Chains A and B, each alone.
Chain A
Amino acid sequence: MIDDVYKVKVENIFEGPMDLLIHLIKKNEVDIYDIPVALITDQYLEYLEWIQAMNLDLAGDFLLMASTLAHIKSRMLLPFHGEENEEEDPRMELARPLLEYMKMKSAAEELAGRYILGEHIFTRKTGEPDFNPKSRDTFVQIGLFELVEAFKRLLDNASAAHQVNFTDDQISVKDRIAEIVEILEKRGSITFWELFFTKNDRSMIVITFLAILEMVKSAIVRVVQNTQTGSIRLFHI
């Protein structure tokens, strides 16, 4: 009885169905390109019963894999129709992602085996702050309203040409984000005004502003305001 309880705990080390499958394949020492589907499916379902008894929520992911296994097993039983080499071995459906996952697992082990900053290697100062605290300027986090206010001021100042150019090639918000990210990667930060400096026709202002909002939402940038000068600055996260 005590043994049983212990065993269930051990099953929980399988984080997902892929983990469990790899364990079964290694345990049975079978070739990943020639998986004995019937055997693996049986063992898989056996483990599944344990897991289900323990944690129903977890079993959801595992059930999907069980149905995939059953599906492949049933397709293995079907006779081939037509040209034989047209039909791919249904087990490749299993082998390919498994190989991919194993590759990534080994990559993860490689990473774990490296000298790690803060563990094996130290630099003069680890864990640097998000932006330079030594500068005399102090910054405050700002929200949407400050941004919109700044945007309104921008539009007020923008050239009031009422022409609409239909042929103009418009840059998309996505492209603008890419541009801004590029600048930020190079410089680390940029002021709000600088972004609007060169491209100050109305549509460009709107696109740039949308790009900034999108970047804030996606947590690509941190927007802060200098308490002294009131200038808004974007920092790359």
Chain B
Amino acid sequence: MTDNLKNIIESLIFVSETPLTLDRIQKSVPHADIHDIRSAIETLIQEHESRKGGFFLKEVAGGYQFRTRPKYHEWIKNMIQPNPVRLSKAALETLAIIAYKQPIIRNDIEHIRGVDCGGIIRTLMERKLVRILGRKEIPGRPLIYATTKYFLEFFDLKDLKDLPTPKEIDAMENLSETIVEENEASPESITEE
């Protein structure tokens, strides 16, 4: 039975075009217990991991999806020649601000970057990385922006909590702290050496 359930779930994930959520799995397999589904998925992830094949099962954007291993991307690109997906530096900065500060209005984005972001936001929306959440009830009723589910898929993230913590600034803040505590030996620097 458990093996059967595992295979059913595997087939569902295989067929799904977007990351398949637990919710949708549960709906498709109504008789199954949610704990059994969870452990079946866990087993599937383990199996695909130990197989070390060309693709693996990953939790992304709140669901589960088969994804190819990054190291094979060159060969895949030989075959399908995808449209270039790279984002400009300005677009990445704007996207990062929206991702970390959401929900956010355009004015606040521009305040951080110090330049007009209207065109970039439009591009990000066309790319389906950013969406409008609504309007803020302040004068001018500006639009509120947030990232999409596709944003999570695009950057291989489980959920928004999975976003990496910006590093440089932590380092800088630590730097100014270490200047104050200059006399104390830092245990980190010892272990690092």
User: Using a CB–CB distance below 8 Å, which chain A residues touch chain B?
Assistant: 15-19, 31-33, 61, 65, 97, 99-112, 114-128, 174, 177-178, 181, 214, 218-220, 237
- A174 in contact with B115 given A107-B99, A218-B143 (CB within 8 Å): no
Considering the chains assembled together, what is the distance between the CA atoms of A237 and B163 in angstroms? 23
- A32 in contact with B73 given A61-B115, A117-B154 (CB within 8 Å): no
Name which of B36-44, B45-53, B83-91 contacts chain A.
Answer: B83-91
On whether the beta carbons of B66 and A219 are closer than 8 Å, the reply is no
B95 at the interface (CB under 8 A from A): yes
Q: Chain A contacts of B65 at CB under 8 A?
A: 123
- The interface on chain B, measured as residues whose beta carbon lies within 8 A of the other chain's beta carbons, has a size of 54
Q: Chain B contacts of A181 at CB under 8 A?
A: 133-134
Considering the chains assembled together, what is the distance between the CA atoms of A33 and B177 in angstroms? 12
Least CB distance from B148 to A in Å reads 9
On whether the beta carbons of B100 and A107 are closer than 8 Å, the reply is yes
User: Using a CB–CB distance below 8 Å, which chain B residues touch chain A?
Assistant: 14, 17-18, 65-70, 73, 76, 80, 82-83, 85-87, 89-90, 92-93, 95-97, 99-100, 111-116, 125, 128, 131-135, 137, 143, 153-157, 163-164, 166-169, 172, 176
Least CB distance from A111 to B in Å reads 6
On whether the beta carbons of B134 and A107 are closer than 8 Å, the reply is no
Least CB distance from A211 to B in Å reads 10
19 A-B residue pairs with Cβ-Cβ distance under 8 Å, sorted by A, are A18-B113, A18-B114, A31-B176, A101-B113, A102-B168, A104-B97, A105-B93, A106-B167, A107-B97, A107-B164, A109-B92, A110-B96, A110-B166, A120-B73, A122-B73, A122-B76, A123-B65, A181-B133, A237-B131
